[in-house]
Amino acid sequence: MNYIKRIFISLVVSCTAVIGWGQHQSAGEDIIVTGVVYSATTLQPIAFADVSCGNFSSDFSGIEGEFSIRVRSLEDVLTFESLGYHTTDVVLAGRDNVDVYMQEVSNKSFQQATNVGYYNIKEAYTPRSSASTNRLSERSKSGNTSPEKEFGTFAAGLQIKERTGITGIGSDLFLRGFNSLNATNQPLIIVDGMIYDITNYGNPLIDGYRTNPLGGIDLGDIENVTVIRDAVPIYGAKAANGVILITTSRANRQATSIDFQMHGGIHMKPEVYPLMSAEQYKPYLSEMFLSAGYTPGEVSQMPYFTTSPQQTGFYRMNNDINWQREVFNQSYSSNYSLRIKGGDDVALYSLGVGYMHQGGMVEDSDFSRFNLRFNSDINFSPRLTLNSNISFVYNDNEIGATGYNSPDDVVAQARLKAPFMHPYIISEEGRVSALFEDYDGLGISNPLAILDNHTLRGQNYRFFGSFDFNYQVNDNLTISNLIGLSFDKDRETLFIPSHGIEPITTPLGTITNKMGARVMRHMAVNNDFRALYNNRFGYAHGIMAVAGVRMNINNIEEDWGRGYSSANDNLRTLSHSLGVLRQKGGFSGAWNSLTMYLSGDYDYKHKYFLNLSMAIDGSSRFGSEADGLGLMGSVFGFFPSVAGAWLLTSEPFLNDANSLDLLKVRASYGMTGNDDIGNYAAKRYYTAYSFLSYQGIVLGNLYNPELKWETNTKMNVGIDFAVFRERFSGSVDFYHNRTQDMIDFVPASIYSGFDYKIINDGEMTTQGMDVSLNARILNGAFRWDAGVTIGKYTTNIEKINGDRKITELYGANILTEVGQPLGVFYGFRTSGVYSSQADADNAGLQALLPNTQLMPFQAGDVIFQDVDNNGIIDNNDMQIIGDPTPDFFGEFNSRMRWKDFTLNAAVSFSVGGDVYNYQRRQLESMSGYGNQTKAVVNRWQYEGQQTNIPRANYNDDIGNSRFSDRWIEDGSFVRLRNVTLSYNVPFRPFGFQSVEVYASGNNLITFTDYKGLDPVFSAGASPLLQGIDLGMLPHATSFLFGIKIGL
């Protein structure tokens, strides 16, 4: 640490010395530069473009685009500005005649500015690995309810894993893979200069439900998004996973403008599993009863196998119902937004109001959102200004079902329900009533009975606002202070009726219906005081720097309760539940942080660029004895970085490379941190405890006063290029991230009363590459722009306590072992099914049962590999059977324009990456009475049968359905995610300024060999949950039609 600090201080001193060295150019010698300004799109001259040479001279281009201007040196920089074009810098590099090609603002260009934290720098000049876009507002026509789904269109290396097809649930974001085993891996989100927390705190009451804070930002309200992939130390111990900077829309002129947009859409029924029909299911059910010990005579007398209308229950047990189709439905959506901008000499304002409603894919489910955003810029004086940003969003999600495997979930039960049963009560004469059947004798709930009277509701409120005061001391120095408040409130309400669900008997009583409520509140106060310095010393030296102090104060509280067995289904609150079964809980907490930061960008002759950054970050989460800097009686972490770039196209030796517009090489090295180590893991605290009729307090944790942040060291090298007037451009990056002091859970002493203790004792590395390519394929009357982003990474465990851990999640074994990739699947390998008893006898293998007894395999059982060749299939035969990390992933986007028509398309893809198909395992294990997929029709049933599906066996004593490569599949896919066609109406009815109509389709086509319903899913943000498909609701195809009117 001290060695790194000495190097960093030396670099700062050296940089300051270079800046202090001025270069004087004789003012008495006139140097004239001439040239012509062209449009890079049309190749036509641009008249009246503003041409300037810093503060030294300025001019305008003529009718034919020609210009002539005095400069200080032939190493100077000329700046060109014209309405509708990106401001363009041209380094003379010894030339006295230059032709300049300016890019339209609608085109992506390295001349556009990018947000690097507290100020903007042209993309051509930044040494960082970043990507930005100002086009996301256009994507509002896609109908996406959350903006992060569009980030992949421009940011290579950013994985966007949509959690489920349920509206409002959102996505998990991973930038350049994973950097932690147990702390957060989500990037830091900054909205309008303030931290925007996207963490889902606490545990949801509703299985499979999660809130989506990013869903509160309307796509149409976004002005710019920048993704910074390498080290950003100014955000201290919160930036280990990269930073995403979002700038919302502001007014940029005084004239009032009003935009109204609305669209409506239809959402198709989702895909369903191919389950057995009633005819296919009944023989399976008969086999299952026989394997459970029933005699053939007993099975034949069961009501499920009636064959004559004269038999009791015939009409109830001889139907053919597709239960999945019964619970899914086609739904509709609508979205309205109004945006007003304007102002005067004193103040500018931007107001956005929106309302969205979308029906759910399950009956009686829907999602609605109201959002409000008000941004303003107020000039109190020529030097004092205020930028305010205020937003409020309210989400109401009537979920209906999540698909989570539970006896309470409508969709999960629809997949298991016997297809010969009917949802409604049928009389012995065959008359269907309007009353729902109760649960059946097979232990499967009636999905429609649950759906008719249950409640699964999530509500979320978020207020997010800030006031940023700016005082301009002089032309070079500005002092600012941002104060902001964020308040979240999440509420969940749950009720599961008794009718339709089999009661559960417990020692404390019988559970019939269920009810519950949960409330979570989170408030954060931010204050960020900073000074921004910007100056240019002659034409050779430029510096932009920021220094500041940022404070963040957080408070959180969660309260929840569960109740069971009220007197009837009309009594739905916790107060009506059975007292002895009632459960309650919650937590409260607080954490604070203080960050002192400094960042400076220096350039020499617009050729060589250097950034030096550092932060000293302290948090209440850090232990009092942690290894760090001791300041003000607390422990602080030190996070430095250095980044440099060389713009080769500013060098004279490339003057003759006329087709080369930009060539830049860059490198960076820096340290960031991760403070997601728990609010009180480093502090001793006590908690209330009840014993018999007495209340007291006990030690709440096994604290570790040496606990500190995780340290992430990032190295990056990259190249940016653009050729043929930026018709083709791109970036390629190679990176290596190393996490040290990774938190780990180690077993505690059995005498401590705790299961584990948290320590800093782990290391992992992530290395990979990002590629971003953009092409303006056609540039005439018909324009076609296309781009692709590609990311690839691998993560390896370098050090953990004990060197090896196996974690069981949803029946899967996840291996964490030194020297192995992160999160690999660890199970058994198979090689088919024994077709005959002779084959099984010849193999001579036995299965080790949970009770330590041995059971020989027989005909129809799965052939498991005996790794240690001891004749026994046990845990010693497990091996790595899959890796969820994809070989590469990314997105292709296309934009075609002809006259007033625009066609946008987005294609997402992922190649490689193994998936554990948990839901298929439930539907093909053949160990219970629930329905199964049609694949089990080909199950082993007779001696000598050749098949890869084992025999049906109640409870599966032999373990044919154990975690093995039978359930591992290739998760590769290519999806046409969105296509949007828009038309700008050429005439202006009713005095409108603009009218645009559009049509959009989402999730149109998916190419994949994966057998699950949807290859796009996320079971959670933990690296150990990657590649586990829980069978949550898939993404449905949707179509929408809309209109946008400008007044």
Residue whose C-alpha is closest to residue 374's, from 386, 387, 390 = 390
Structure token digits, residue 570: 């009309």
Per-residue pLDDT tens digits for 784-834 = 999 999 999 999 999 999 999 999 999 999 999 999 999 999 999 999 999
Average pLDDT over residues 875-897: 97
Question: In this structure, are 468 and 568 located in the same domain?
Answer: yes
Mean pLDDT over all residues of the chain? 94
What 8-state DSSP symbol labels residue 96? S
The amino acid that residue 788 corresponds to is V
Residue-level pLDDT at 137: 79
Residue 297 is inside which H or E element, if any? Answer: helix 296-300
Query: If pLDDT is split at 50, 70 and 90, which confidence band does 1037 have?
Result: very high
The DSSP-derived string for 795-830 is EEEEE-TTSEEEEEETTEEEEEETTSBTTEEEEB-E
Average pLDDT over residues 272-299: 97
Per-residue pLDDT tens digits for 140-156 = 888 888 999 999 889 99
Query: If pLDDT is split at 50, 70 and 90, which confidence band does 138 have?
Result: confident
Torsion on CA atoms 866, 870, 874, 876, rounded to nearest 10? -80
Query: If pLDDT is split at 50, 70 and 90, which confidence band does 726 have?
Result: very high
- Asked, for residue 979, whether it belongs to a domain, the answer is no
Average pLDDT over residues 162-183: 95
Q: Is 644 exposed, middle or buried (0-12, 13-18, 19+ CB in 10 A)?
A: middle
Query: Bridge-partner residues for 262, per DSSP?
Result: 336, 1043
Residue-level pLDDT at 18: 39
Residue that is last in its domain, among 934, 960, 986 = 960
The DSSP-derived string for 489-533 is EEEEEEEE-STTS--EEETTEEE--EEEEEEEEEEEEEEEEEEEE
Per-residue pLDDT tens digits for 465-492 = 999 999 999 999 999 999 999 999 999 9
Question: In this structure, are 429 and 510 located in the same domain?
Answer: no
Residue whose C-alpha is closest to residue 892's, from 162, 242, 156, 163 = 156
The DSSP-derived string for 408-470 is T-HHHHHHHS-TTS-SEEE-TT--EEEEEP---TTS---HHHHHHH-EEEEEEEEEEEEEEEE
Residue whose C-alpha is closest to residue 1034's, from 449, 360, 226 = 360
Average pLDDT over residues 861-877: 97
The DSSP-derived string for 691-734 is ETTEEEEEE-----TT---EEEEEEEEEEEEEETTTTEEEEEEE
Structure token digits, residue 480: 């600012």
Residue that is last in its domain, among 54, 88, 105 = 105
Query: If pLDDT is split at 50, 70 and 90, which confidence band does 990 have?
Result: confident
The percent of residues in the chain predicted with pLDDT above 70, rounded, is 97
Domains of the chain: total: 4
- Asked, for residue 905, whether it belongs to a domain, the answer is no
Residues shown for the chain: 1047
Residue-level pLDDT at 139: 82
- Asked, for residue 111, whether it belongs to a domain, the answer is no
Structure token digits, residue 712: 């992430």
Using CA atoms, how far apart are residues 506 and 449, in angstroms rounded to an integer?
23
Question: In this structure, are 493 and 558 located in the same domain?
Answer: yes
Question: In this structure, are 371 and 428 located in the same domain?
Answer: no
Query: Does 707 score more than 50 pLDDT?
Result: yes
- Asked, for residue 977, whether it belongs to a domain, the answer is no
Question: In this structure, are 310 and 339 located in the same domain?
Answer: no
Structure token digits, residue 150: 């569009």
Residue-level pLDDT at 135: 79
Residue-level pLDDT at 10: 46
Question: In this structure, are 439 and 572 located in the same domain?
Answer: no
Structure token digits, residue 975: 């999806």
Residue-level pLDDT at 133: 86
Question: In this structure, are 513 and 586 located in the same domain?
Answer: yes
Residue whose C-alpha is closest to residue 320's, from 412, 423, 443 = 423
Query: Does 389 score more than 90 pLDDT?
Result: yes
Question: In this structure, are 385 and 447 located in the same domain?
Answer: no
Domain span at residue 62?
2-105
Residue-level pLDDT at 501: 92
- Asked, for residue 888, whether it belongs to a domain, the answer is no
Cα angle 436-439-441, degrees, rounded to a multiple of 5 = 135
- Asked, for residue 967, whether it belongs to a domain, the answer is no
Question: In this structure, are 775 and 701 located in the same domain?
Answer: yes
The two beta strands, 1028-1029 and 914-917, are parallel
Q: Domain containing 96 — which CATH number? A: 2.60.40.1120
Per-residue pLDDT tens digits for 678-691 = 999 999 988 888 87
Query: Does 26 score more than 60 pLDDT?
Result: no
Residue-level pLDDT at 508: 81
The two beta strands, 608-619 and 514-537, are unpaired
The amino acid that residue 133 corresponds to is T
Residue-level pLDDT at 29: 62
- Asked, for residue 969, whether it belongs to a domain, the answer is no
Question: In this structure, are 730 and 847 located in the same domain?
Answer: no
Question: In this structure, are 516 and 555 located in the same domain?
Answer: yes
Query: Bridge-partner residues for 501, per DSSP?
Result: none
- Asked, for residue 119, whether it belongs to a domain, the answer is no
Per-residue pLDDT tens digits for 823-868 = 999 999 999 999 999 999 999 999 999 999 999 999 999 999 999 9
Residue-level pLDDT at 316: 94
Terminal CA-to-CA distance of the chain, rounded, Å?
59
Question: In this structure, are 672 and 600 located in the same domain?
Answer: yes
Neighbours of 971 (CB within 10 A): 25
Query: Does 197 score more than 80 pLDDT?
Result: yes
Query: Does 22 score more than 60 pLDDT?
Result: no
Using CA atoms, how far apart are residues 535 and 543, in angstroms rounded to an integer?
6
Using CA atoms, how far apart are residues 287 and 305, in angstroms rounded to an integer?
12
The amino acid that residue 370 corresponds to is F
Using CA atoms, how far apart are residues 317 and 281, in angstroms rounded to an integer?
12
Residue 246 is inside which H or E element, if any? Answer: strand 243-248
Query: Does 5 score more than 60 pLDDT?
Result: no
Residue-level pLDDT at 44: 95
